[in-house]
Structure 1
Amino acid sequence: MPAAAPEEIDIFEKAKSLVPPDYVPSDDEEYMNEQQLAYFQMLLIEWKRSIHSAAGQTLQSLADGPIREADLNDRASSETDWGIELRTRDRQRKLVSKIDAALRRIEQGEYGYCEKTGDPIGLRRLIARPVATMTVEAQEAHERREKISRDD
């Protein structure tokens, strides 16, 4: 897996200097102030690092050797486990691109605001899902439209 880019390390270190260790964004502050943005940058970069680390462990396990179970049932079980692991890594690969997009939105000053309505997404939602791009209401409307178009 690729190592963290030097500029990403610099961004992380700068963000870390702006955020106290026990800081949690609060509704009592100005929305998306410098400290909140730094908090979310750190959160996103750490999340990305953990995904890369897990992917590296998966690659190492695959490189250690093929599955050679003597019993057919054991082999089938091992292959099923590997299939699940590889699907998980694929989902995480897609998540990394969402994390990168969120980091770009922070740099562009667009992070924390709904891409459909321009309204604040809200701290609780962003803490729960830092890659969120829409408010809960906009996301629900989007999902309803998707469901209707699928049912047609």
Structure 2
Amino acid sequence: MEQKDIEYFRQLLASMLDEAQQKGDSTLEDLTDNNEIFADPADRATAESDRAFTLRIRDRERRLIKKIRAAIQRIDDGSFGVCDECGEEIGVPRLKARPVTKLCINCKSKQEEDEHLRGD
């Protein structure tokens, strides 16, 4: 991979990290600002459902942040863009579509096929 591509992905991942952290911070603010008392049990159930949904979103953001940081670390150690399974270079178009990926399209397709066969 060319140096200009590496710098492009470093900037893209840094931008994604900033955005994910901001979303996470706003989610936490939403959770802490919501200390209402509900007279109607249905309203309370709706609020609890919304809170659970917000927590799932927060968890997804947390996992994405972890993947972004790992991708930045791979850039730093020189292994970014190399498939963990086969060792081949991951194509730039795939990395543009999913910059945190660790698998080339062939290995990812095989992984998904295996998961489908196992029923995961």
What TM-score results when the alignment is normalised by the length of structure 1? 0.71
Other-structure match for 2:73: 104
Question: Secondary structure of the residue that 2:88 maps to in structure 1?
Answer: coil
Deviations 1:7-64 (A, max 9, x none): xxxxxxxxxxxxxxxxxxxxxxxxx211111110111111111111111111112222
Q: Is 1:131 aligned to residue 77 of structure 2?
A: no
- Are the aligned partners of 1:48 and 1:99 in contact in 2 as well (CA < 8 Å)? yes
Hey, which of these two has a bigger chunk of helix by percent?
A: 2
Q: Is 1:50 aligned to residue 24 of structure 2?
A: no
- Are the aligned partners of 2:31 and 2:51 in contact in 1 as well (CA < 8 Å)? no
Other-structure match for 1:10: none
For residues 33 and 88 of structure 2, what CA distance do their matches in structure 1 show?
A: 49
- AA matched with 1:116: E
Other-structure match for 2:30: 61
Other-structure match for 1:71: 40
Question: Secondary structure of the residue that 2:36 maps to in structure 1?
Answer: coil
Stretches of structure 2 lacking an aligned partner (at least 5 in a row): none
Deviations 1:59-96 (A, max 9, x none): 11222241333332222222211111110110111111
Deviations 1:85-120 (A, max 9, x none): 110110111111111111111111111121111222
Other-structure match for 2:86: 117
Stretches of structure 1 lacking an aligned partner (at least 5 in a row): 1-31
Other-structure match for 1:3: none
